Structures are given as C-alpha cells and as structure tokens.
Structure 1
Amino acid sequence: MSFKPSQHQVAGHDGCLIAKGLFAKPSNDRESSFYSQLIEFDNKKAKSFTDQDDQSGYVGDYLSNWVPSYFGDLTENQLDEPLDLDFDQMNVASKFIPPKGLVSTDKKYILLSNLYEDFVSPSILDIKLGSVLTDDLATPEKVERLHKVSQSTTSGSLGFRICGMKLFQKDEKLPDLSKFKNDAIKIDETVQSDDGYLKFNKIFGRSLTPGTVPDALRLFISNSVDEKFQYHYLEQFYKRLQLLYNCLLDYEVRIISGSLLFIIENNPTILGRVEDPEEFDPLISDKFDINENDEEEDDDDDDDDNENPHKKTIKKLSSLNMIDFAHATFVPGQGPDDNVLQGVENLIKIFEDILEVQ
C-alpha cells in the first residue's frame, strides 16, 4: 500500500496523502491526543449504554460518528514503505481499536480514514466553524490577524465561513456566478476550472456575506444534479446538522478552527442507477453498530472505479463529517463549545430556509 497526493483537498494545509481507504495529513500531538481521548470517551459511553441495556444510544449520539476513523500516527519515512496492514484490518480497526505497530514517537502524519473513498465524482465543501479562530497557543500576531479575518467575514457574523469548494461539472457550461460579484474582488479570479471540476478558493469564501452564503450553498447542492437529488441532499444535510448539534451539546470540548466537510456524489452514471436515494445514503456511519459476521464485499473492481463507474458499487451518495482537530482539546467541567455550536445552529437555519423555498 503506497501513498500519493490527495486530489480532492479543497482547504487546509498542503501535503495530505492518500492510500486505499486511508488519508494521511501533517499534524501535531494535540490532534493525535484528541482522537485518542475521543476513542476512549466514546467507548466508555457505548459501554454505559450496554450496561443499561439501552442499545447504543440515539442516532449520531457519538462524536465519533461524525469524525474520520483514527488509525494512529506515521513518520514521513514510513509513508514511503509498504504499510503492513490490509484494508480488511482497517475496517475492523475503525471500531476504535487503532492497529498495533503504527504509532511512532517521531510523529509527523496522522492516519485517518479517507472520506472521499466511497465517491466517484464528488463535489466537496469545507466550512470552518467558529468566530474565534485561534487557541491558547497562538502568537499575539496570529491572534490579531485571524481576529481581523473573523470580523471581516462570515466567521464573525454567522460563526462559520466557507473555506473551499470543489464542484463537479458534467458539461462545460459554467454556473451563474453573478450573485457573488462585488467591488472587493474579481469573482473570476477566485474560481478555476480544472479537469472537470470548478475549484473555489478561500478568497471566494471570505468575500461572501450573510446574504450570499445561502446562494453558495445552493450552488454546491444544485450544480450538475437534478431536482430529485437536490432536495434529497438538502434534506439529508439539514437532518445531519440537527443530529450533530444535539451530539455536540453532550461534549465538553473546544474545537478551534475545526471544519465541516460536506461531500455529495455527482457522477451522472451513478445517480442514474439510483431509484431511492435514501437507500444508499444513511444519515451517519454508525461505528458502534458494525456486524462482524457480515460478509466482506468484493473489492476487486476498486482499482477501476473512477475509470468505469458502470461497474462501481454504489457505496454512498453524501456525507457530513467534522475534520481538523489540530487545535482541539477536551475541557471537562467547562460545558459544550458555544463557538462551534453557533456556526452549526446558523447553518441549520440556512438549510431550513432553503428547503422552505425549494
């Protein structure tokens, strides 16, 4: 198993790598510690439900349902070597038991599940949460700089900001971007057409206002997708955001500069084979409800998935995940993270408003 540069990264720092089912990103000890503590916390939470004969709680009740699976840490030199762990083992490991032998004292990369793996032609949206964008370790210069960014963007007014967006194009016709034009930027310079995708950079997101953010969300959902799937995606994300909000109320954490990653399938061949979208689009990936006796799917055609979507097994149509915990900590006794909750709450309201007129 060898790693190569990720082709679907839309925001954040460069240098992320992928292998089959895996995503390796440059990281720090704080992010590794957060994932490790989350695994321990949610395992105890699951056990408490089991002890009470109360199954495993409510849908989306665990923060682990909303984050990538964590498999430990690798050094840079380990990434150049074949990884002595097959993907079937990784699937088992996703039940919050990091595989042995991966942890190194010289941490450079954090090893996570690849959230893009189940999609053929994904459109991707990265939304940074919070109006406060720096943690207690930031320098005064960084605090001042990012405070100005927050005050001049929707980070300050809405508690979230679109950081990057990548839209699949099934034809060469460009969407109408006239709603996003303003005197501060040239909108054409914030969007790049490349290899069948439209890529919107961070300047596009910083130029948005509370009035144009809903238009950007509509564009993400509607580009290259017919009305049946548009409504389905909007409804699924609306439900997921509500579940996530309720989940976060139970966690005493501070997640600075964390993001929500929205992904939708846009491949016309895949979508053309779907009669009922909900059949292939569960609200969450329930990591505490994995049946170990289920037969493994045949993955022999995975290498040809992108080349021949007709042979692609339909695995997922959309997903919502929380990512980026390099500045995240558990804070027992201090209550939930209002900085993050504000942004999620405002997103819920915007999706609700869009659905009402859809």
Structure 2
Amino acid sequence: MTDLITSASAFDNQVAGHDGVLLDASGDLVIKPSTPVEIAFYESLLPHAEFLPITPRFYGTLTLRPNGGEGGAGDGAPRDAIVLENLTAGFNKPCVVDVKLGRRLWDDNAPLEKRERLDAVAAKTTSGSLAFRVAGMKVWHHALSTYTLYERTYGQGLTAENVRDAVNEFIPVALGKGRRAEVLRRLCEGVGEIEMVVKGVETRMYSASVLIVYEGAAEALDAAIKAETAERLSGYDGEEDEDEEEEFEVITETTIIDGREVQNMTISASSMPASTVDIAEDDDDGEETQPVCRVRLIDFAHTTWTPGEGPDENVLEGVRNLLSLFKNELDSIE
C-alpha cells in the first residue's frame, strides 16, 4: 500500500468555486468534492487523449466519510471526491486566475430559477458580452511582499471596455516588460491549445473554466524562463520516457483533514495506464523543472460528451475572446 495521502488541509490557492477543496500533505494533489457528472467526465478521458494535455492530471476518486465519534453516528454525509494534480505545485509565488467560460452557464437539467439567475448574472457581466468572466484572482506583488486577492465581485464589475484592466492586474506592469511578454506568450500558447482541442470534439461544458497559473516571484520567473527556453532549444518535448513509467497502486487508508478523521478513502486507477496517472518524479539531480506557467481547462460538473451535436461554440467563443485579449496585450508591449 502506498502512503500517498497521510494528512490534508484547506487548499489556499483556490480563487473561485465552492469551498471544501483540500491539499494533500505532499502539496502535489488536490482533493475536490465532486459530482457524478464530473467524475464520469474525468473517467471518460482515456478515449479522448487530446484532452489530457489541457486538463489536470486525474488520479482517481475517493470517498470522504466523517468519523461518527464515540456515539457512532456520522456528523455528515459521505462525499465523493476527485483527486487531481495541484496546478500550483512547483511555483514559488503562484499567481492564479479562474476564468469562467460561456454566455450560457446552466445545463439542460437546471431548474428554471437557476437558469434565470445565471442568465441575469451573464447579462450584466462580461459573460454576456465576451462569453468569459474573471471568477477570481490571486496576484503576488513583489514590491509589497504580499498577495492581493480579487474575489468574484471584481470580475462581475468588469465590462467589455475595461476588461483589459484585469490583464494588467493579473500580470502587473511592475513585473517588467520582458517578463510580462514571456508570460503572455505562454498564455497565448496555452489558451490556443485549448481552442484547438475543444473545436475538434463534441461536448457541452457549461460553467467550465480556464485556470491560469504563472510564477509571480521575479527571480524564480527569470530562472523558469531560462530553463524552459533551454529545454525548447534542446528539443526536449516534456514527455517522460515510457520506460520510466511509475506503477500506480490502489490506496485505502484513514487520514486527518482539518482536525477530523476521515475514513474509507480510496483512490482507484486500475483502469488507467501508468502514463496517464503517474506522479512526476524528480530529475536525476533531485530537482524538478521550474514552471513558467500552466493553462488548463477545469470544472466539469456540467460537462457531457454530445456526439453528433458539433463543438461547443458557447465555450469556444469565450476561449477565442480570451485569447484575443492576451494577444492584444502582448502586441501592445512588443
């Protein structure tokens, strides 16, 4: 049995979505309470290999069952959860933004009240005008040695005319022209890859988001850019050697989460090949490559495959407008 999860705590790099996301003791994995629809989507990704590079690595599912204490009665219902890679792992000072996609944010099963409420939010925000909305941000400010948090009200107050301000808040001018350009180039690559994948598949992914993380510490960012540039010049493609795939086991154990005992935690990856569930190992020198940024599609609680219905233009409009926003900002500083 692999001692993968021994304790967990609240995930403090979450900038949007529901509370309850946890971070394992290693810092490599997040544990997210989930829905049957989202679990089914992640479990269905293997036949859709094109989705794997643009989504968080999925390590399986588990059940969180609060301990009933001396009386034996549970103090809460069991919760299904998914185990995903921590997209902020490896960064010194991760800057994070969650961008919710689409004009329509509700799925076909949503009750009328929810549809009307979400349509009203979209109509008065950039969800309606641009098909994307900043749901939350966390930005490191080097000069102040502190983070600034931007909650959902910040994104709800943006308009199509001033949404560029959010780019300047997320990637501050104080970071420097050269660093900003390097980050923006990679964001354009990442969002562009999401566009290429989504336009080639038939899905409906209501209320999905693009999560973007980049290194906010100036010196760490410089080192990451230098290392990544060297890798690209050397022809390294970032893929692990197939001969070095790591065996993944089923884990069942008890853990402590926020001071509560949680039982019956199971991570099952028996249906997945090692290449899709292995945890990245350190390089030979014991150090992992410092990331510059990561761009991933997340939040699939309302996502289904829809064969015969064509690509998700609702999401694609938001992705394309977000890409244009980053490209325009990059053009303005080059």
Shared fold (TM-score, shorter chain, > 0.5): yes
- Rate the CA distance shift 1:341–1:251 in 2: closer, same or farther, 3 A: same
Partner of 2:157: 207
Partner of 1:308: none
RMSD: 2.6
Aligned residue type for 1:126: D
Partner of 1:351: 326
Q: Secondary structure at the match of 1:3?
A: strand
Of the three residues 69, 73, 85, the one matched with 2:61 is 73
1:178-227 deviation line (CA, Å, top 9, x unaligned) = xxxxxxxxxxxxxxxxx821000101100000111112112212255222
Query: What are the equivalent positions in structure 2 for 1:232-247 lying under 5 Å apart?
Result: 232-247=182-197
Aligned residue type for 2:197: C
1:222-258 deviation line (CA, Å, top 9, x unaligned) = 2552222100111111122222211111110000000
Q: Secondary structure at the match of 1:75?
A: strand
- Rate the CA distance shift 1:274–1:329 in 2: closer, same or farther, 3 A: closer
Q: Tell me if the contact between 1:27 and 1:326 (Cα under 8 Å) persists in the aligned partners.
A: yes
- Give the C-alpha shift of residue 278 in structure 1: 3.8
Q: If each structure's helix is expressed as a fraction of its own residues, which one has the higher value? A: 1
Q: Tell me if the contact between 2:190 and 2:296 (Cα under 8 Å) persists in the aligned partners.
A: no
CA distance in 2, matches of 1:337, 1:315: 34
Q: Tell me if the contact between 2:179 and 2:222 (Cα under 8 Å) persists in the aligned partners.
A: no
- Rate the CA distance shift 1:168–1:223 in 2: closer, same or farther, 3 A: farther
**Long gaps (5+) in structure 2:** 68-77, 246-280
Of the three residues 198, 220, 233, the one matched with 1:248 is 198
Q: Secondary structure at the match of 2:320?
A: helix
Q: Secondary structure at the match of 1:321?
A: strand
Of the three residues 17, 27, 41, the one matched with 2:22 is 17
- Rate the CA distance shift 1:298–1:241 in 2: closer, same or farther, 3 A: closer
Q: Tell me if the contact between 1:167 and 1:223 (Cα under 8 Å) persists in the aligned partners.
A: no
Partner of 1:182: none
- Rate the CA distance shift 1:349–1:272 in 2: closer, same or farther, 3 A: closer
1:296-322 deviation line (CA, Å, top 9, x unaligned) = 426998xxxxxxxxxx75420101000
Q: Tell me if the contact between 1:168 and 1:224 (Cα under 8 Å) persists in the aligned partners.
A: no
Partner of 1:126: 98
- Give the C-alpha shift of residue 64 in structure 1: 1.3
Partner of 1:112: 84
- Give the C-alpha shift of residue 273 in structure 1: 3.5
Partner of 1:45: none
CA distance in 1, matches of 2:321, 2:331: 15
Q: Secondary structure at the match of 2:56?
A: coil
CA distance in 1, matches of 2:96, 2:44: 28
Partner of 1:8: 13
CA distance in 2, matches of 1:142, 1:286: 44
Partner of 1:297: 282
Query: What are the equivalent positions in structure 2 for 1:95-106 lying under 5 Å apart?
Result: none
**Long gaps (5+) in structure 1:** 43-61, 80-105, 173-194, 302-311
- Rate the CA distance shift 1:74–1:36 in 2: closer, same or farther, 3 A: same
Q: Tell me if the contact between 2:209 and 2:299 (Cα under 8 Å) persists in the aligned partners.
A: yes
Q: Secondary structure at the match of 1:143?
A: helix
Of the three residues 7, 16, 36, the one matched with 1:29 is 36
CA distance in 2, matches of 1:112, 1:280: 29
Partner of 2:317: 342
Of the three residues 25, 45, 61, the one matched with 1:38 is 45
- Rate the CA distance shift 1:346–1:123 in 2: closer, same or farther, 3 A: same
Q: Which has the higher contact order (CA 8 A, sep 6+)?
A: 2
1:101-158 deviation line (CA, Å, top 9, x unaligned) = xxxxx65111111111121101101100000010112111111100000111000100
Q: If each structure's strand is expressed as a fraction of its own residues, which one has the higher value? A: 2
Q: Secondary structure at the match of 1:39?
A: coil
Aligned residue type for 1:73: T
Q: Tell me if the contact between 1:168 and 1:223 (Cα under 8 Å) persists in the aligned partners.
A: no
Percent pairwise identity: 35
Aligned residue type for 1:16: V
- Rate the CA distance shift 1:156–1:252 in 2: closer, same or farther, 3 A: same
- Rate the CA distance shift 1:201–1:137 in 2: closer, same or farther, 3 A: same
Q: Tell me if the contact between 2:225 and 2:292 (Cα under 8 Å) persists in the aligned partners.
A: no
- Give the C-alpha shift of residue 280 in structure 1: 7.3
- In the comparison of the two structures, how many residue pairs are matched? 278
